[in-house]
Amino acid sequence: MNLLMCPVCHKQLKLTDKTWRCDNNHSYDVAKQGYVNLHVVQHKHSKNPGDTPESVQARRAFLSAGHYAPLQQAAVEKIKALRIENLLDIGCGEGYYTNAMHSEVMQCVGVDIAKNAVQAAAKLNKNITWVVGTGSTLPVLEHSVDLCTSLFSPIPKDEILRVLKPQGYLMVVTPGPQHLYALREALFEEVQAHDPHKFAHQLEDAFELTEELIIDAPMVLPQQDLKNLIAMTPYAYKAKPERRLALEAQAEIELTAQFQIFIFQKK
């Protein structure tokens, strides 16, 4: 079954000859790169929302080097254990996690608001339905999805509840308390531990928390990988330029990434 929904009239979309079309004849062409843009103008708040091309390139280079592979592997193992048919990855970015998670399901949709990120993602795997869209109106039919995933991305709670099947699952990945602590100490005068459980509290009325775990990923980053890591995070513009430049001058740095994985089930 096609999972996609027309963002204008909310009817089911069907794919014919590289065009997604609904019963009301709203149509959306598949771009030559292999994605479809369902982010209609009335839902836009800026001309080019989401990550910048520079951030997308930096993330692709950093993740391709394997530094966050422990998280990717853990997410895939959790999906394998759930034994589901389809998933919707919200905020898929350039597709690093989506591409890996696709191996454990029959149908996979990756959606992101940043067109340049989805363009990059579409080059990874032609068997995934890649969509430019917004979390505030997920372009997916209601009660059609077994699992929604949100890795370092927004959690549009009401929309997730709409698209999930009864007893469907939600996987949320957030920074763990000590995520990149040494990096943040170098970039900022005051550093506090992340509080990953604030997301859980926001969801507890509609979801049951069934599992949580922490994944540590120690790494030694050469200079270019360090620059890519900073460029792909909000640290790039939040840190003072002189602190960033001093850190990026180092030949290498030892860091530990820490990820918190939550598995929720819809009540």
The Cα–Cα gap between 177 and 227 comes to 22
Is 148 assigned to a binding site?
no
Is 22 assigned to a binding site?
yes
The Cα–Cα gap between 167 and 122 comes to 30
Is 179 assigned to a binding site?
yes
Q: Please list, residue by residue across 219-243, b when 16 or more beta carbons sit within 10 angstroms of its beta carbon and e when fewer do.
A: bebeeebbbbbbbbbebbeebeeee
Is 10 assigned to a binding site?
no
Is 92 assigned to a binding site?
no
Task: Retrieve residue 255's tokens.
Answer: 């860091």
Q: Please list, residue by residue across 2-16, b when 16 or more beta carbons sit within 10 angstroms of its beta carbon and e when fewer do.
A: ebbbbbbeeeebeee
The Cα–Cα gap between 134 and 114 comes to 9
**Residue of 135, 145, 80, 134 whose CA lies nearest to 107:** 145
> Helix, strand or coil for residue 72?
helix
Cβ atoms of 90 and 110 closer than 8 Å? no
Is 26 assigned to a binding site?
yes
**Residue of 56, 129, 127 whose CA lies nearest to 96:** 56
Is 133 assigned to a binding site?
no
User: Cα–chain-centroid distance for residue 12?
Assistant: 24
Is 95 assigned to a binding site?
yes
> Helix, strand or coil for residue 57?
helix
Q: Which residues are annotated as a binding site for S-adenosyl-L-methionine?
A: 68, 94-95, 179
Q: Which residues are annotated as a binding site for Zn(2+)?
A: 6, 9, 22, 26
Q: Which residues are annotated as a binding site?
A: 6, 9, 22, 26, 68, 94-95, 179
